Amino acid sequence: MKKIFTLITVALCAMSINAAEQEPGFYPVKSVVWKSITWKNGNNKKDKDNNDMLFLMGTGNGYATLLAEYYYSEDKKDYFTRPAYSYINYEAGETGIPAYGLYYKFTPKTSGTLKFKTWVNKGNRKTFVVKASTGMPLEPYVDYTFDGYVNGQNTNTDQPKIDPETGEQQLDNEGNPVWIQVPTYFTAEQIKARVDDENATRAAKGDAPINKYVIEKGNQAVWGWITLNVEAGESYVIYQQSSQLGFGGFTFGSDEYVSCLDMGGTIVLNEDFSKIIDENGNATNVDNRGSVVNFSTANMDVEAVGGAEPESVEADFDATGIVKVNAETLDAKGPMHNLAGQKVGKNFKGIVLLNGKKMIMK
C-alpha cells in the first residue's frame, strides 16, 4: 500500500497548468505523494569460500533536494509537473549529507575501526563516506579502504565441474577441463592497484582519470567491506548518489551486526528492520525522509534510511522566480542540447534539453 503525505488529496501526476501562466523550469515543492519503500534481502553474493553473503536492500538514492519540474510534453502537447532531484556537488566544494534517500549513518560511542559490509551496485559510481560534522567526504584509499569481490572476477577451484548428463567433467569449446569457480577476493591494496592501473592507461591515452570518490574501476557490482577509523561521538554517513548501496552488517570492536539472518535456509531481516515492514516487505513508517530505522549496539548508534522517492509533486508557483539548477548537481546523463538542437557543454547558460527534459542552466 502506498503511503501518502500530501497537503492536498488530488492526483498530481497528471496535473497540467495553463502554459501562459507559468514559465517552464524548476520550482519549490508544495506537496508530495511518496512511493512505497521496501526493505528486503537482495543481491545475494558468494565469497571465496562459496559461502553466501547477504545484503539488506532499501530503495532510493541519497538526494540533496527535491524540486518540481514544470515542463512541456511534446507527446501530450501540454504542460505538466514531475519530480526532479539534485545531489550534493562535493567536487565543487559543496558540503553536507543527504536530506533524504538511501543512506546509513554510524555514530560510534568509542573510537575504533568500523568495517561496513556492503554491496555496491556499480563499483565505478561515486561512493561517499561523509564526516557529518564537516559535511565533507572521505577519500577512498586515503581515509578509508575497500576490499572484497568484483562481479565477473572468478578463480578456479580444484573441484571439477560435472556434466549432469554424462557424470563426467565438463570440457570447454577447446576441449579443456572446466573447474568450479568462486569469486576472486581482492585485498584493499589490490583493488587500489586496479584503479591505479586504469588511471595509468587513461593517462597514456590523454583521458581524464577516474573520479577520486570511485572505489573500483569497472562498471560492475562489487561487494565486501568499507573500513575506516572513526572517532567517538562523530557521525559518518555512507551512501551513493545515483545508485543503491546494500547493507550486510558491520563489525566494530565487540559489535557484530548482521542485517539478514539465515534461519536454517530461510532468510529473514534483522528484527530492527522486520518490525517496521508489512507482509509484502513495504515499510510502515514512511515520512518525508524515508523509512528511518534507528538501533544501537554496545558501541555504535545506527540510523538506516530507506529512501523516500516521490511518485508525483505539486509545484509551488507562488514562490518567487524559477529555481535555477547547476548542471553538476543534476543526475546529468547524456548530452545536452539547446533549443535549436545543437549540442552544448555544461558551461552553457539558458534553457537546455537533457534526456527529453527542459531545464535552465545558470
- Residue 195 CA to residue 120 CA, distance in Å, equals 16
Residue 71, strand partner residues: 80
At 301 the pLDDT is 98
* CA atoms of 57 and 34, how far apart (whole Å): 18
Query: Rounded CA gap, 356 and 171, in Å?
Result: 49
- With 80 as the cut, is the pLDDT of residue 73 above it? yes
The mean pLDDT value for 30-40 works out to 88
Q: What is the pLDDT of residue 235?
A: 98
**One-letter identity of residue 192:** K
Residue written as cell 593517462? 203
- The gap from C-alpha 19 to its chain's centroid, in whole angstroms, comes to 36
**pLDDT for the residue 335:** 61
332 Cβ neighbours under 8 A, 6+ residues apart: 346, 354
The pairing of beta strand 300-307 with beta strand 65-73? unpaired
Average pLDDT over residues 86-93: 90
Q: Rounded mean pLDDT of 170-194?
A: 91
- What's CA 254's distance to the chain center, in Å? 29
d(CA 293, CA 269): 13
Tell me the pTM.
0.79
